[in-house]
Amino acid sequence: MFNSRNLLSGKRKYLFGLLLLSCICIIYAAFSSEDSDDFAFSRREILLRKIGHETLLQSGDRVSRVLPVKKIAKNEYQISFENELTFKPDSLVNTTQRLLAKEPYTSDYVVNVLNCGNSTVAYGYAISKNKQDDIVACRRRKQPVACYLINIKFKPTGMNTVKSGYLLGGLSFLAFIGFILLGSKSVKSQKFLPENQETDLFTLGSVLFDSKNRKLIIDEKTIDLTATESRVLLIFAMSPNEIIERSRLQKEIWEDEGVIVGRSLDMFISKLRKKLEFDQNVKIVVVRGKGYRLEVNA
């Protein structure tokens, strides 16, 4: 009688397990991507320090230091120097192109050389993997000795795109699984109905149980049942004198509402006992360590 219901329950457990496994995989992929990003950023900072070092050498300075590279925004870095210097735009453009060509995720970037005092742009250019999109002006004008900062902003590509692809793909997959789960919930109102049952009336001793209208009829006396009381009693009425496990009652009555509370079940069992006490041949008994049984004596 309950094969279809058990099949549905097993399917939902399988889907829930699959959903949980997918979440774990996505989280793992995200953390793995972060580790890869950290390594790539460390490599990128080394290249940026090398750009600063060669800029000092081209300026004729073999003594002063390149200060630690700062990450001033996502994908944007700043190279600063210990002393004032001069630079040739041609040399700076060639140096950045040559060194950053070794980094697979830095094919598109913008360079701005700023004056330290007022942050105005002393010189700037843009490099793209498509050479026709390069923007480089005034290459041959040597800049005066001054305090400069070199800001380099990279176009977010490469690993960021891959990681976004992982996350978007994972979210799409989770949405698909969620849709299946929601679809399985749409039949919850049917899973409590007995198969091939043509009536909603159950005879329990001298008690007539009308599951559709949620009523107990005893000697022409009518007792109303709540929706939950009726659902609990329906499970018992479909399997009289059989042990119904406590976990099954909790799952079938409360799981779809998202909350399972043990004391709620005890409360409804107690209420049903009081409403069935008019017939001593019908009672719900506790089977210790297993669950409950609706005893119906002839």
Q: pLDDT tens digits for 68-83? A: 998 888 889 999 999 9
Read off the pTM: 0.45
Which residue, of 116, 138, 160, is where some domain finishes?
Answer: 160
Answer whether residue 254 is part of any domain: yes
Which residue, of 120, 143, 160, is where some domain finishes?
Answer: 160
State whether 104 and 28 are in the same domain: yes
Query: What does the alpha-carbon distance between residue 91 and residue 136 come to, in Å, rounded to a whole number?
Result: 12
pLDDT at 90 over 60: yes
CB 150 within 8 A of CB 113: yes
Answer whether residue 117 is part of any domain: yes
pLDDT bin (cut points 50, 70, 90) of residue 2 is very low
Q: pLDDT tens digits for 231-271? A: 899 999 998 999 999 888 888 876 655 555 556 788 888 88
Answer whether residue 7 is part of any domain: no
pLDDT at 197 over 50: no
177 by Cβ neighbours in 10 Å (0-12 / 13-18 / 19+) ranks as: middle
State whether 106 and 224 are in the same domain: no
Answer whether residue 240 is part of any domain: yes
State whether 18 and 154 are in the same domain: yes
Question: Looking at residue 249, which CATH number applies to its domain?
Answer: 1.10.10.10
Structural domain of residue 240, as residue ranges? 192-296
Cross-strand bridge partners of residue 278: none
What integer pLDDT is reported at residue 164 of this predicted model? 56
State whether 35 and 149 are in the same domain: yes
Structure tokens given for 81? 């120097």
State whether 215 and 143 are in the same domain: no
Give the number of domains in the chain: 2
Q: pLDDT tens digits for 25-84? A: 666 555 555 555 566 667 778 889 899 999 999 989 999 999 999 888 888 999 999 999
State whether 226 and 290 are in the same domain: yes
Which residue, of 160, 182, 215, is where some domain finishes?
Answer: 160
Structure tokens given for 279? 């017939």
β-pairing verdict for 282-287 and 291-296: antiparallel
State whether 197 and 148 are in the same domain: no
Answer whether residue 187 is part of any domain: no
Query: What does the alpha-carbon distance between residue 288 and residue 14 come to, in Å, rounded to a whole number?
Result: 30
Angle, helices 262-276 vs 227-238, to 10°: value is 80
Query: What does the alpha-carbon distance between residue 160 and residue 191 come to, in Å, rounded to a whole number?
Result: 46
Query: What does the alpha-carbon distance between residue 251 and residue 10 come to, in Å, rounded to a whole number?
Result: 12
State whether 138 and 18 are in the same domain: yes
22 by Cβ neighbours in 10 Å (0-12 / 13-18 / 19+) ranks as: middle
What integer pLDDT is reported at residue 141 of this predicted model? 74
Instruction: Compute the average pLDDT of residues 188-214.
Output: 69
C-alpha distances in Å from residue 138, one per residue of 60, 169, 254: 21, 45, 74
Answer whether residue 174 is part of any domain: no
181 by Cβ neighbours in 10 Å (0-12 / 13-18 / 19+) ranks as: middle
State whether 202 and 109 are in the same domain: no
pLDDT bin (cut points 50, 70, 90) of residue 154 is confident
Query: What does the alpha-carbon distance between residue 124 and residue 232 come to, in Å, rounded to a whole number?
Result: 75
State whether 23 and 120 are in the same domain: yes
CB 55 within 8 A of CB 65: no
Answer whether residue 173 is part of any domain: no
Answer whether residue 136 is part of any domain: yes
State whether 220 and 102 are in the same domain: no
State whether 156 and 223 are in the same domain: no
CB 109 within 8 A of CB 155: yes
